[in-house]
Amino acid sequence: MRTELRLGFFLLLTPLVLWLSLLIIIPHIDMFLVSLRERIGVGKYQLSLANYLTFLEEPLYLWTFLRTALMSIMATLITLVIAFPVSFYIAKMVKGRLQAVLFLLCLVPFWVSELVRTFGWMILLRETGVISNFLQWAGLVSGPVEMLYNDVAIMIGLVYTSMLFMVVPLVTTLESLDDAVIEAGYDLGGSGPSILREIIIPHAMPGIVSGSIVVFMLSLGNYLTPRILGGKDSLWFTELIYSQFIVRFNWELGAAFGFMLLILSSVIVWGMLRLTGQTLEKTMG
C-alpha cells in the first residue's frame, strides 16, 4: 500500500517537475551560461563578466532600467488605488448574482489578447481617435489632440492590462473578512477611515502584497504595451533585451540584461516584502 501511494505521488509530481525543468530551470541555466560568454573571434568565446560590466558601466542601460522600475512601481500603486475600492465593493457590498456579474465584468476584457486590448487604446488615444474627436465636438479643443507615444499612454496601458491581477487576490482576501468584525468596529465608535486603516487594510495586506508583486513583475517585464503605446522612443528595458537578441544578434549581452532584470526585480520584491512585514509564503498562500 505504501509503495502504491509513493508511486502515485511521484506520478502526480512528474508533470510539475518536467514543466519546471524543461521550461524554466534548464533554459535559465543555459541563458546564464550564455551571459558569461565573451566573443573574442568568429565562433570563439571565453568566460567573462564583461556583459554584466557593460550593463553597470553604461549610463543609458542603468537609466533605462531605473526608469522602467519606477514606472512599474507607479503603475502598481495606481492599479492598487483603483482596484481596492472596486474589490471591496465586489467582496463586501454586493452579494449573490450581482457579485458574480461584477466579477465577470472584470474578467471580460481578458477574454481577448493583450495585443487587441492595446490596439483598442490606440483607437481611443490617437490623433483621430474617439477621445480626440469627442473633445473637438464638445468644443474643448480647437484641433486634433495626440495622446499616444508618451508616458501617460504607457501608464494607462500598464494599469489596464494588470487590473485583473490586482482585483482577484484582493477580492479573495476581503471575502474572508467577517462582516461582524467591521460592525464591531463601528459599534466601538470607529469611523470609516479608522476602520479602513485598523481593520480592513491589515486584513487585506496579504492580498495587497501578492497583487502588487504580480502587477509589478508583469509591468516590469511588459514589452508589447510600452512598444505600441509609447512608440519607438519609449525607453523600456525589455525593448533593450529584445534589441540585443533579435536586432543585433548579441545573445550574450541580451542574456546578461535578462538576468540583471531578474536579479534587480527580485531585490525590489524582497524589499517590498521586508517593508510590509510580509513573507512570500503568507502572501502566496
Residue listed under C-alpha cell 526585480: 265
The DSSP annotation for 175-209 comes to: HTS-HHHHHHHHHTT--HHHHIIIIIHHHHHHHHH
Q: Supply the angle between the helices 251-276 and 50-57 in degrees, to the nearest 10.
A: 60
Read off the pLDDT of each residue in 23-43 and give the average, rounded to a whole number.
84
**Is the pLDDT at 281 greater than 70, yes or no?**
no
Mean pLDDT (the chain, rounded):
86
**Is the pLDDT at 83 greater than 90, yes or no?**
yes
Residue spans of alpha helices (H) in 89-178: 96-107, 114-125, 130-137, 151-175
pLDDT (tens digit per residue) in 238-270: 998 999 998 888 889 999 999 888 888 888 888
Report the percent of the chain where pLDDT is more than 70: 96
Read off the pLDDT of each residue in 151-177 and give the average, rounded to a whole number.
91
Band the pLDDT of 10: cuts 50, 70, 90. Answer: confident
pLDDT (tens digit per residue) in 209-226: 989 999 999 999 998 899
Tell which CATH architecture fits domain 54-284. Answer: Orthogonal Bundle (1.10)
Cα–Cα distances in Å, from 229 out to 1, 45, 121? 59, 38, 8
Q: For residues 151 and 92, give the distance between their C-alpha atoms in angstroms, rounded to a whole number.
A: 35
Q: For residues 129 and 136, give the distance between their C-alpha atoms in angstroms, rounded to a whole number.
A: 11
Structure confidence at residue 158 (pLDDT): 93
| 262 within 8 A of 86, measured Cβ to Cβ | no
Residue listed under C-alpha cell 550564455: 34
Q: How many helices (H) and strands (E) does the chain have?
A: 15, 2
Please report, for the chain, the start and end positions of each structural domain, with discontinuous segments joined by +.
Answer: 54-284
**Is the pLDDT at 279 greater than 80, yes or no?**
no
- Within 10 Å of residue 284's Cβ, how many Cβ atoms? 13
pLDDT (tens digit per residue) in 202-211: 888 888 998 9
**Is the pLDDT at 85 greater than 90, yes or no?**
yes
Burial 88-104 (b: 16+ CB within 10 A, else e): bebbbeeeeeebeebbe
Structure confidence at residue 284 (pLDDT): 60
Determine the distance from the C-alpha atom of residue 110 to the mean position of all C-alpha atoms in its chain, rounded to a whole number. 15
Q: For residues 271 and 277, give the distance between their C-alpha atoms in angstroms, rounded to a whole number.
A: 10
Structure confidence at residue 177 (pLDDT): 85
Structure confidence at residue 1 (pLDDT): 59
